[in-house]
Amino acid sequence: MKNNRANWIIASLVLSVMSMASAVAANDVDLAKLDVKSLVAKMTPLKGTTPAQWRVIWTEDASREATISWSTAELGKKHVVYYGTKSGGKEGKPALSQECQSNGIYTITQPKITPAYYHHARIKGLKPNTRYYFVLESDGERSREFYFRTAPAEGTDFTLIHGGDSRSGHANRCRMNLRIAEQANSDSKVIAFAHGGDYIVTGSKWEQWRLWLSQHELTTQEDGRVLPIIPTKGNHDGGKIYFEVFDLEEKTKRWHTTMLGKDVALVTLDTNSPAGGPQEEWLEAELKRLRPAVRWLLVQYHRPMYPAVKGPARHAPIFCPLFDKYNVDIALESDGHCMKRTVPIRNGKKDPTGIIYVGEGGLGVGQRKTHADRWYLKDGGKSGSAHHVMRLDFNPDELRVRFILMDGSAWDDHTIKARDL
């Protein structure tokens, strides 16, 4: 706790005096030893209408749609993203443009907090499997040029990064962001980053989100490549800001299915909302629609059904039978602050046809000791404690799941065979 607070103070201080400096990459430094000052040196100051805190958000059709978002310190009048399949070059901008459909102030509940403003450009009609360049512009102030890649229309030849619990341990959060960037840098098949929730400690505090958003810039590759983020809501992400950051309707967009082409689906659930009622009805309809249509069917949510540290989420009696019924391939969990891969589980028992549950959050938060003696964590399952992301490599026959640690090594390397559909 003391360390977390120290990290927070250091990061806040450095953030206020930061300047543009040479880039930091995960492959040429020992991340564990990297000092906070160099970690934050790349972040864009929130000042005037300078576009900062950029992110690309996927929640539905990742082959054809994306929301491109950023923040400014001043409200500004006109916010536009220029985008296209051809780079605008050093001084230019890509040919297409989209004015932001949604602009507003991040909700502030504490006194004396400097306001900031969100801007969301919802772009549709993109071509699958295509590199899109983009430049952000707020009242004439332009960002550098970035790019991202849309998901393919079909096929499984790509990699997804998943990680959760970046809520505290700010220096380590920065280091893990660099590790995420390096995963994408070293392998162009990495297509997106799914976050399992608990971005910050107190979801109603803008100053915490401000820091998270600035630090999220570190996941951008040095050549400008941005990994789209697929968000999940954690129990620490209460309040309105989560929805403002990710351009989600608070009442209607608490769960969503992101199609990574027609063959891979990631169903995102909300363990902060009741499992029964509308969420259960939606989940059953989605799984029924998706199975057997997709080759790989994944679920992500924050609180684990088969935890390595805490007790199971109260959602387990409703979610797990549906996962079993529709033969979900893997469940991505967070919240426990540890690493675990369960044995395959069906109907509450070890079963070779069952579902593997992996997690549970290591994007900077202090790691906890696991209950390694739980039946689903031994005799084929495993658990441990270290900062990590999970890397999921898809192909038509297999799903390879690796836990990548801060130093780039793999703690676990497990392959799941495709089901007979």
Segment interacting with Fe ion, rule: CB under 5 A, options 70-78, 87-95, 269-277, 332-340: 332-340
Q: Does 244 bind Fe ion (CB under 5 A)?
A: no
Q: Does 202 bind Fe ion (CB under 5 A)?
A: no
How many DSSP H helices and E strands does the chain contain? Answer: 7, 24
Q: Which residues contact 415 (CB under 8 A, 6 or more apart)?
A: 398, 399, 400, 401
CB 85 within 8 A of CB 133: yes
Q: Which of 87, 102, 235, 273 binds Fe ion (CB under 5 A)?
A: 235
As a whole number of angstroms, the distance between CA 20 and CA 24 comes to 11
**172, amino acid identity:** N
- Nearest approach, Cβ of 344 to Fe ion (angstroms)? 25
Segment interacting with Fe ion, rule: CB under 5 A, options 139-147, 193-201, 271-279, 340-348: 193-201
Residue nearest to Fe ion (CB): 335
Q: Which is nearer to Fe ion, 152 or 234 (CB)?
A: 234
**16, amino acid identity:** S
What DSSP element (H or E) covers 267? strand 264-268
Q: CB 235: neighbour CB atoms within 10 A?
A: 16
List helix spans (H) across 82-158: none
- Nearest approach, Cβ of 317 to Fe ion (angstroms)? 20
Q: Which is nearer to Fe ion, 135 or 313 (CB)?
A: 313
- Nearest approach, Cβ of 200 to Fe ion (angstroms)? 11
Q: Does 234 bind Fe ion (CB under 5 A)?
A: yes
Q: Which is nearer to Fe ion, 361 or 384 (CB)?
A: 361
Segment interacting with Fe ion, rule: CB under 5 A, options 28-36, 90-98, 147-155, 231-239: 231-239
Segment interacting with Fe ion, rule: CB under 5 A, options 11-19, 85-93, 170-178, 196-204: 196-204
Q: Which residues contact 92 (CB under 8 A, 6 or more apart)?
A: none
Q: Which of 61, 182, 198, 393 binds Fe ion (CB under 5 A)?
A: 198
Q: Which is nearer to Fe ion, 236 or 402 (CB)?
A: 236
Q: CB 12: neighbour CB atoms within 10 A?
A: 14
As a whole number of angstroms, the distance between CA 403 and CA 179 comes to 12
- The count of C-alpha atoms lying within 13 angstroms of the C-alpha of 277, restricted to the half-sphere facing its C-beta, is 4
- CA angle (69, 71, 74) in 5-degree steps: 140
Q: Which of 263, 270, 286, 335 binds Fe ion (CB under 5 A)?
A: 335
Q: Give me the 249-268 binding string for Fe ion, x by CB under 5 A, dash otherwise.
A: --------------------
Chain contacts with Fe ion (rule: CB under 5 A): 198, 234-235, 335
